[in-house]
Amino acid sequence: MTEPPSPSLRPGGPPSRFARRLLLVHAHPDDESINNGATMAKYAAEGARVTLVTCTLGEHGEVIPPELQHLTGTELGEHRLAELTAAMRELGVEDFRLLGGQGRYEDSGMMGIADNDDPACLWRADVDDAARALVEVILEVRPQVLVTYDPDGGYGHPDHIQAHRIATRAAELAARAGWQIPRIYWNRVPRTVAEEAFARLQTDLPGLPFGKSATLDDVPGVVDDARITTVIDGTAYASAKAAAMRAHATQIEVAPGERYFALSNELAQPLFTTEYYELVHGERAARTESDLFAGVTLEEAS
């Protein structure tokens, strides 16, 4: 392990009007809108500072629209950055950044392919080095809440796994440098909710522009209901989430009605407007909570 951040790195001071500060760490553009779009829109609308750090530009993503399938590599990454910008506008999020700056880490592709061996890809990044770049953001923003993936990245993608490692290590290093993030969450979907949504999908599938349905295994982060600690009702922000997902046009097709979507595999899956989380750092309440900031003290708000 390398040493903690330099002693010169100390917590900064975000504007006092941001009493609540939420940091999300994601692997590629579009992950944030699929997993947390309603949550991000809700807290942004309520006046919280919402900061998104995206680790790569998804340069190796498969492109859906035929007219855009000529885009690859750096050109695709630049296009996806424009999509991310549009998505954040839909969610009302002003603070979004690329880990280490644009082009610092590239998409690693799916697990087990040759792209995983590219020295420039996120999967090959030194976790401590990458974490230091995130520590700078943490010490500037001083979030009380961090949202990221579980150790498997939700579904085993190398960049999602690496994003989890980087976020976790950065939280450790930031604590040594002076800012302990009070509450850390992993993205989740309760199994019964997913099962019920897929049952409805089977009924609705004939009216959708997708020929087949995905399966429960295609949804990242599905766990037993008992592991869910926090439920964010994003019903009021359903349209904002769908619009943000639609902005990621190279990666996502949202069906009319905004209840279902498909990725490049053209398999329909539910679009969840209530979003679910598992608290993995911080004191758990006896009951399921409805606020990611529940339990944050006045001392932690400064």
Please enumerate, by residue number, every residue annotated as part of a binding site: 28, 31, 160
Q: Helix (H, G, I), strand (E, B), or coil: what is residue 13?
A: coil
Would strands 145-148 and 183-190 be described as parallel, antiparallel, or unpaired?
A: parallel
Please tell me the distance from the alpha carbon of residue 275 to that of residue 190, in angstroms, as a whole number.
10
Burial class of residue 131, CB neighbours in 10 A (0-12, 13-18, 19+): buried
Question: Which residues fall in the annotated binding site for Zn(2+)?
Answer: 28, 31, 160
Radius of gyration of the chain (CA): 18
Rounded to the nearest 10 degrees, the angle between the axes of helix 31-45 and helix 73-91 is: 30
The token duo for 275 is: 């979003």
Cα separation values, 104 from 8, 70, 88, 100, 252, Å: 23, 23, 21, 6, 25
User: Where does the chain have alpha helices with state H?
Assistant: 31-45, 73-91, 127-141, 158-177, 191-204, 238-247
Cβ-contact 221, 154 below 8 angstroms: yes
Side chain identity at 34, as an amino acid letter? I
Beta carbons within 10 angstroms of residue 219's beta carbon = 20
Residue indicated by tokens 């609308």: 45
